[in-house]
C-alpha cells in the first residue's frame, strides 16, 4: 500500500476534533506523524527492542514512544510487555496504534480505567478474502474495514485485561453510527466509539473500573 500523503492542516484539525469527541473525561488521546527523527530520542533499552527491525518499523516504534511520553507528560523509558504492548508507569493504562502515516495513542489513570484500546487504519475497501477473515455472519457493520478497526480496539482492551489471543471471528461487533458494542469470547461486552477522519477510521474502547 502506498503511504498516505502527510495530513493537511484541515485534516489535522479534523483528526484532533474527532479524538476530542472519542476520548473524554480522564482519557487523553493524541497523534503524531511517523518520523525517523524520533529514533534519536529512544533510550538504549527501547532501541534494543527494534535494533533488528526494518527502518519503517523503527520509525513507527520511536514515534509511538515519543507520543506516549507527550501524553503522559513525563520523560520515562517505555519498554514492552511479553505481548509487545507498552510497559507503562504504575498507575497508568494506555493503548497505541499506527497506520502507515501516523501513530495514535490514548492514556488514562488506572484509578479510573481498567483498560483502554485504540486502533487506527486507513479507510479503504478490503478484498472479499480479507472481509471473510474479519466478518462474522452476525456482525452488524457497514463494511469490513470498519469492523476490523472496531474489533482491534476491543481486542486490545481484552488483551490488557489478561485475555488470551483472539481471532477476528471471536469478536462480534454491532456498530450503530459512532457507537458500537463488542462481545468477546467469554461473552463479556465492551462498549466503544468509532469515527472517520482525515481518510482514516479510529475506534476507542474504554473499560472503567467497577
Q: Is 46 left (phi over 0), alpha (psi -120 to 50) or beta?
A: alpha
56-67 residue pLDDT tens: 999 999 999 999
* Per-residue pLDDT tens digits for 133-177: 999 999 999 999 999 999 999 999 998 888 888 889 999 999 999
Residue at grid coordinates 488506572: 110
Note the pLDDT of residue 132: 97
pLDDT for 63: 97
More confident residue, 199 or 85: 199
Pairing of strands 189-197, 200-208: antiparallel
How many whole angstroms separate alpha carbon 172 and alpha carbon 161?
18
Domain coordinates of the chain in residue numbers? 9-208
Dihedral through CA 63, CA 65, CA 71, CA 76, nearest 10? -150
Distances in whole angstroms, Cα of residue 25 to Cα of each of 16, 30, 99? 16, 14, 26
List, for residues 10-44, the tens digit of each pLDDT value: 999 999 999 999 998 899 999 999 999 999 999 99
Q: pLDDT value at position 6? A: 85
User: pLDDT (tens digit, 9 = 90+) per residue, 22-31?
Assistant: 998 899 999 9
Query: How confident is the model over 87-104, as a mean pLDDT?
Result: 94
Give the rounded percent of residues in the chain with a pLDDT score beyond 70: 98
- Cβ neighbors of 31 (< 8 A, separation 6 or more) are 15, 19, 67, 102, 103, 104, 105, 120
User: What mean pLDDT value characterizes the chain?
Assistant: 93
Whether residue 107 is predicted with pLDDT greater than 80 in this model: the reply is yes
Whether the predicted pLDDT of 195 surpasses 50 = yes
- Residues 6 or more apart whose Cβ sits within 8 Å of residue 178: 21, 193, 194, 195
- The confidence score (pLDDT) of residue 1 equals 44
Number of other CB atoms surrounding residue 14 within 10 Å: 18
Please tell me the predicted confidence (pLDDT) of residue 29: 97
In the structure grid, which three cell numbers stand for residue 68, read together? 506516549
Helix residue spans in 23-142 (DSSP H):
44-49, 55-72, 128-134
Amino acid at each position: 500500500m502506498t503511504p498516505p500523503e502527510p495530513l493537511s492542516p484541515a485534516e489535522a484539525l479534523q483528526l484532533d476534533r474527532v479524538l476530542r469527541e472519542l476520548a473524554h473525561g480522564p482519557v487523553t488521546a493524541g497523534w503524531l506523524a511517523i518520523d525517523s527523527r524520533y529514533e534519536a530520542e529512544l533510550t538504549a533499552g527501547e532501541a534494543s527492542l527494534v535494533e533488528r527491525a526494518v527502518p519503517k518499523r523503527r520509525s513507527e516504534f520511536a514515534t509511538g514512544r515519543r507520543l506516549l511520553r507527550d501524553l503522559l507528560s513525563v520523560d520515562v523509558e517505555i519498554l514492552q510487555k511479553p505481548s509487545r504492548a507498552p510497559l507503562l508507569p504504575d498507575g497508568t493504562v494506555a493503548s497505541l496504534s499506527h497506520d502507515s502515516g501516523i501513530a495514535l495513542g490514548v492514556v488514562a489513570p488506572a484509578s479510573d480505567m481498567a483498560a483502554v484500546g485504540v486502533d487506527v487504519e486507513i479507510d479503504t475497501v478490503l478484498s472479499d478474502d480479507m472481509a471473510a477473515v474479519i466478518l462474522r455472519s452476525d456482525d452488524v457493520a457497514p463494511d469490513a474495514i470498519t469492523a476490523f478497526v472496531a474489533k482491534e480496539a476491543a481486542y486490545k482492551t481484552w488483551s490488557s485485561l489478561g485475555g488470551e489471543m483472539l481471532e477476528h471471528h471471536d469478536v462480534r461487533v454491532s456498530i450503530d453510527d459512532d457507537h458500537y458494542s463488542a462481545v468477546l469470547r467469554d461473552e463479556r461486552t465492551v462498549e466503544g466509539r468509532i469515527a472517520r477522519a482525515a481518510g482514516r477510521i479510529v475506534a476507542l474502547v474504554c473499560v472503567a473500573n467497577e
